[in-house]
Structure 1
């Protein structure tokens, strides 16, 4: 038998075996998930027996009914299940299994308007160069109560709160239990700086796996909060005057099992330094992808632990890129620009490509800063609005970090989003106000 054929044979998945195992495990329903341009799950729900054909041959669907996938005259698509990414909804009595799909075009090739395909292509390009990325994400979010449709704080806890009575212990512990049951795991959780704000860490893994985990985690966290009459919101800035929510992304590049960012000294490696240079070089342009909503730019204001200056530093949480420096040990970077409303597939794509560009082109970053970044003068700043971020993206070389049709569609969607807000509100008058438009659009959807 030729070398490698055993491994190849064992790696093949028989869809009917998957169906049989799911059914014998008591799963009653299958939810095939397609990711839209915003990073949100779109799905059908079908009985397990009816799903046999979907698992075997893929799911036909109307692409014209999902924003930016297709026009009504060319709307018939098929999406194939990715059996590497299946999650049984433990919070729903394990009756439903979520199955992520990848969309094909009419020629049977991966459709590049599918964000999962975009990230998979990026990771394949890295693998062809014997490069591999790892990401882990600190996801901040609020659990709020609603009063007449308006969000209100649901606890008065502080950062690292230790008083159970000041925390939403019941929904948080149930969220943690389900992260374990889903096989996602978690490294830690704590109450964040703002009242009703929490952080849960998704451990470092392959970017595609982490992106899928984020989608399922957000779905679960919203369902769990709803059981308690509350709302889990991943809107970046639901309340003015207190911290917003970030999705701080820890990132490293690997080759042959070696972490290229791990330093044997107390300074970053050359590969790490150039990667930081690439991210900072394109920070304004990729802002629209990692901070993708009108509301995102109300988070990016000084003195609330969100980056406004495009700088980096060791152990400096006011910088856009922080190098964690516990015990003077360096093994990764933390990109603090993203927020939890991001489409994680596209955000990881542009982050990885910016870093690799920096490494390939030996892009030197400016000197690291140790001062509070908000007080720095004469350094580049993040875009002030979503509209400005769209303009930076469309005129930048970073526009090519996404496939042509995706880059064009994404820019159009975000330009329209900014136009809709601007037709109702003047930014100069509302930059420091969370408007009803934002609450309606982002509170539950982000």
Structure 2
């Protein structure tokens, strides 16, 4: 599809109006859009250490003031946003990134929002900000391998609303359910519309497995999956999507939660991350015949090798480890496989068999046609959840790919950890016995990060102080035996869930 068609068909009003992709947005483009669309306010937005978007509101007094905001940004108190900054030297700048601008879908007053990067008093990037860590990780991976890493997230969440009696859904059987058995479809599609208008590149949305009722409330699990894009855009889109989902839920008078676990015996919400290695416009994850490339095997080796410490970025509170339990779809063993949902790294079904042939079989009136499907193949990392710091998680995955390329026997390492059986089947217990395991608590995750931290610090990607802060926070939960302590204790479990209900 050419660029003109992309800008014509897009749901994004800025791209449609300006007639160019977001990556080409300039300051003058933003000014023109604001001036010619009677925009009255501008919001600067930036994620804090808790992953939530923070906001500065500006009334647009005149064009020179608008130019000043877009050029200089504004000062903020970093010590109130990040726990590792001292109050005595806490001033930071937040400076807009023009490609992230979007029309605010909730404001009655016409408003444009724009994401920002953090800078120090010297005008240099603030290296402790997760967004800068991701930037460094991407640059270092490209420098050492010549490849780019693209990513997309599967954003799972529960919508919580008053219980309805009509057309009750079957407990834990909500996968791809339609109305009227799925009650949250209108909410989900409205959220998708707003996310797409804000620049989110959505693949699809659907209801997920999880649904149950509890104390007069209906819990319905949903998923919005994105398309692969560059690492920074992938993280930005997930962050904005969470903000949109929560704000829309507030307007609907319902709750939305990304919590890893809500109650025992019911599906938790993950944040599976699909990745692909790109060499220019070519998907370096696969060979011309559709098989996995050596580069993909090296990336998988890196993911498996660093999996214990990657949980420090992707599974960040005690309820994360109530989701990562055996005999569920969430992984606990460090292995990979094809289409196997119990593994940590999954190679999902591709289209090497030929989409054109299937389409002509389903539609006999159509002649078989060739369509390029190589970009569809990805590798999925399945343990992260909604508590993840998406910027640090994607940075960690980029470091893991680089590490896989640096491993002397990376390809062999990956092949030795491939499984093609149900590892929880008693007939294959010898396979299970040779696999290592993910951490079972935040405390153990901190220990694994401490052991592997040198890999993340290499090349100046993860600042030592940032890792120190993460390790201290995870250790501070004191949850090494928590899962065993509160097993069967419904009251303590509910209190724990309530504490982290709005995580991420």
TM range (shorter): 0.7 to 0.9
List per-residue Cα deviations over 1:194-213 (Å, max 9, x = no partner).
11001110111111001101
**Is the CA contact (8 Å cut-off) linking 1:140 and 1:340 kept in structure 2?**
yes
Aligned pair 1:429/2:472, yes or no?
Answer: no
Counterpart of 2:451 in structure 1 is 395
Does the C-alpha gap of structure 1 residues 273 and 431 become closer, same or farther in structure 2, counting only changes over 3 Å? farther
What is the CA-CA distance between 1:13 and the residue it aligns to? 6.8
List per-residue Cα deviations over 1:247-287 (Å, max 9, x = no partner).
11110111232221113346421111111111101111111
List per-residue Cα deviations over 1:140-174 (Å, max 9, x = no partner).
11001379xxxxxx965621213424331221221
After the TM superposition, which residues 171-250 of structure 1 pair with which residues of structure 2 at under 5 Å, given as runs?
Answer: 171-195=187-211, 196-250=220-274
Counterpart of 1:164 in structure 2 is 180
Q: 2:95 aligns with which of 59, 80, 88?
A: 80
After the TM superposition, which residues 345-360 of structure 1 pair with which residues of structure 2 at under 5 Å, given as runs?
Answer: 345-360=391-406
Deviates more, 1:84-93 or 1:132-141: 84-93
- CA distance in 1: counterparts of 2:497 and 2:58, whole angstroms: 32
Counterpart of 1:136 in structure 2 is 152
**Is the CA contact (8 Å cut-off) linking 2:45 and 2:53 kept in structure 1?**
yes
Deviates more, 1:233-242 or 1:180-189: 180-189
Does the C-alpha gap of structure 1 residues 72 and 214 become closer, same or farther in structure 2, counting only changes over 3 Å? same
What is the CA-CA distance between 1:414 and the residue it aligns to? 2.7
- CA distance in 1: counterparts of 2:174 and 2:253, whole angstroms: 22
Does the C-alpha gap of structure 1 residues 443 and 167 become closer, same or farther in structure 2, counting only changes over 3 Å? same
- CA distance in 1: counterparts of 2:469 and 2:38, whole angstroms: 41
What is the CA-CA distance between 1:427 and the residue it aligns to? 3.8
**Is the CA contact (8 Å cut-off) linking 2:322 and 2:483 kept in structure 1?**
no
- CA distance in 2: counterparts of 1:23 and 1:442, whole angstroms: 42
List per-residue Cα deviations over 1:278-310 (Å, max 9, x = no partner).
110111111111111211111101233101110
After the TM superposition, which residues 79-158 of structure 1 pair with which residues of structure 2 at under 5 Å, given as runs?
Answer: 79-92=94-107, 95-129=110-144, 130-145=146-161, 158=174
**Is the CA contact (8 Å cut-off) linking 1:120 and 1:208 kept in structure 2?**
yes
TM-score of the pair, normalised by structure 2 = 0.78
Does the C-alpha gap of structure 1 residues 431 and 122 become closer, same or farther in structure 2, counting only changes over 3 Å? farther
- CA distance in 1: counterparts of 2:130 and 2:142, whole angstroms: 19
After the TM superposition, which residues 344-383 of structure 1 pair with which residues of structure 2 at under 5 Å, given as runs?
Answer: 344-361=390-407, 362-363=409-410, 364-365=413-414, 366-375=416-425, 376-383=432-439
- CA distance in 2: counterparts of 1:31 and 1:253, whole angstroms: 34
- CA distance in 2: counterparts of 1:192 and 1:328, whole angstroms: 27
Does the C-alpha gap of structure 1 residues 29 and 160 become closer, same or farther in structure 2, counting only changes over 3 Å? same
List per-residue Cα deviations over 1:315-362 (Å, max 9, x = no partner).
111100001134566832111111122111100011111112102324
Q: 1:257 aligns with which of 251, 257, 281?
A: 281
Return 5+ residue gaps in structure 1 as ranges: 1-10, 148-153
- CA distance in 2: counterparts of 1:95 and 1:302, whole angstroms: 50
What is the CA-CA distance between 1:84 and the residue it aligns to? 1.6
- CA distance in 1: counterparts of 2:85 and 2:28, whole angstroms: 31
**Is the CA contact (8 Å cut-off) linking 1:298 and 1:431 kept in structure 2?**
no
Does the C-alpha gap of structure 1 residues 14 and 263 become closer, same or farther in structure 2, counting only changes over 3 Å? closer
Work out the number of aligned pairs and report it: 426
- SS at 1:193 equivalent: strand
- CA distance in 1: counterparts of 2:333 and 2:197, whole angstroms: 39
After the TM superposition, which residues 294-313 of structure 1 pair with which residues of structure 2 at under 5 Å, given as runs?
Answer: 294-313=318-337
**Is the CA contact (8 Å cut-off) linking 2:312 and 2:470 kept in structure 1?**
no
- SS at 1:244 equivalent: coil
Does the C-alpha gap of structure 1 residues 197 and 12 become closer, same or farther in structure 2, counting only changes over 3 Å? closer
- SS at 1:384 equivalent: coil
- CA distance in 1: counterparts of 2:25 and 2:352, whole angstroms: 45
- CA distance in 2: counterparts of 1:249 and 1:183, whole angstroms: 19
- SS at 2:304 equivalent: helix
**Is the CA contact (8 Å cut-off) linking 1:119 and 1:208 kept in structure 2?**
yes
Return 5+ residue gaps in structure 2 as ranges: 1-22, 212-219, 354-373, 426-431
**Is the CA contact (8 Å cut-off) linking 2:199 and 2:237 kept in structure 1?**
no
